[in-house]
Structure 1
Amino acid sequence: MPHLRTRPGDHDATVSFFIVRTDGPEARLTYHLHLKAQKLMMFGGHIERDETPWAAVLRELVEESGYHPSQVRVLQPRVRMRQVTDAAAHPVPVMSSTACTSAEPVHFHTDLLYALVTDEEPVGAPDAGESTDIRVVTRSELDRIPDEDIVEMWREAGRFILDEILDAWEPVAMADYPVAAPLVG
């Protein structure tokens, strides 16, 4: 999706996620080669005007990875608010960050990063126009990716997910979280 805000200094809201594969002898992270940046990054994209952040995660999951939401679970802290009155409780992100994504003109993305986990191959393929260069890497392989081939903050986030989140948080069905807020009645 194109940027909703295009003036210098504007911020766009984005979501992103790593898919952690647990079907091998050790956990592996899924990266893809971002078509514009030509660097390894997590999956994700802009939140459209008519969707919640969680709806954007579900849309981007199918578009960019080929996974169906029923194939993956979202990692969540064991202690968390599970529901609230008159609102949709969304999953807790691993990280919320703001980064400058271009210098000329200056533009920012404020992002919610999630960790998803699965023990299977995707049922589909990335949509037309999406990157098909998808790489599944172990922790040691992640450390060996040359600096010029990866966005460093996404290497750091990947390390954090593998080293801290994977064993400490619990996997929860994606469908446990609603995509829209309830209507005010």
Structure 2
Amino acid sequence: MPHLHTRPGDHDATVSLFIVRVDGPEPRLSYHLHRRARKLMMFGGHVEHDETPWAAVRRELVEESGYQPEQVRLLQPVVRIRHLTDAAAHPVPVLSSTACTSADPAHFHTDLLYALVTAEEPAGAPDTGESTDIRLLTRAELDVVPDDEIVEMWREAGRFILDEILPAWEPVAMDEHLSVAPLV
């Protein structure tokens, strides 16, 4: 989706996700070669006008990775609010950040990053026009990716997911966050 806010200094809401494959001898983190940036990044994109951030995560998962929501599990802290009266309790992101994505004119993305786990191959393929250069990296492989081939903040986030989130947070079905209170 194109940027919703295009004036200098504007912020777009974005979501991103890493998929951790746990079907090998050690966990491997998914990255794809971003088509425009030509660097390894996580999956993700803009939150559209008619969707919540969580709906955007589900959409981007299918569009960019080929996975279906039932093939993956969302990592969540054990202690979290699970239900709210008259509101939707969205999943807890691994990271909430704001980054400048272009300097002239200045433009920002305010992002919610989620971590998903799976032990299987995706059921489908990325949508037409999406990157098909998807790489699964172990912690050791992530550390040696040359600096000019990866967005450093996403390397740092990947390390955090593998080192801290994966061993401490529990995997839950993505559908756990579908029970949304009626919004008027």
Smaller-chain TM-score range? over 0.9
CA contact (8 A) 1:54 1:179 kept: no
User: 1:183: how far off?
Assistant: 2.7
- Tell me the equivalent position of 1:146: 146
- Tell me the equivalent position of 1:158: 158
1:73-106 Cα deviation digits (max 9, x unpaired) = 1100000001100111110000000000001110
Q: Distance in 1 between matches of 2:31 and 2:62?
A: 15
**Partner amino acid for 1:29?**
L
- Tell me the equivalent position of 1:115: 115
Q: Distance in 1 between matches of 2:179 and 2:41?
A: 25
User: Which consecutive unaligned segments of at least 5 residues does structure 1 have?
Assistant: none
| Runs of 4+, deviation exceeding 3 Å | none
- Tell me the equivalent position of 2:90: 90
- Tell me the equivalent position of 1:131: 131
- Tell me the equivalent position of 1:69: 69
Cα pair distance change 1:8/1:179, threshold 3 Å: farther
Normalised to the residue count of structure 2, the TM-score between the two structures is 0.98
**Partner amino acid for 1:183?**
L
- Tell me the equivalent position of 1:6: 6
**Partner amino acid for 2:89?**
A
1:43-97 Cα deviation digits (max 9, x unpaired) = 0000000000000000000000000000001100000001100111110000000
Identity %: 79
**Partner amino acid for 2:128?**
A
CA contact (8 A) 2:32 2:40 kept: yes
- Tell me the equivalent position of 2:101: 101
Cα pair distance change 1:179/1:148, threshold 3 Å: farther
Normalised to the residue count of structure 1, the TM-score between the two structures is 0.98
CA contact (8 A) 2:89 2:180 kept: no
Q: Distance in 2 between matches of 1:151 and 1:179?
A: 35
- Tell me the equivalent position of 2:78: 78
Partner SS, residue 50 of structure 1: coil
Q: Do structure 1's residue 53 and structure 2's residue 53 form an aligned pair?
A: yes
User: Which consecutive unaligned segments of at least 5 residues does structure 2 have?
Assistant: none
CA contact (8 A) 2:85 2:181 kept: no
**Partner amino acid for 1:128?**
T
Q: Distance in 2 between matches of 1:47 and 1:181?
A: 20
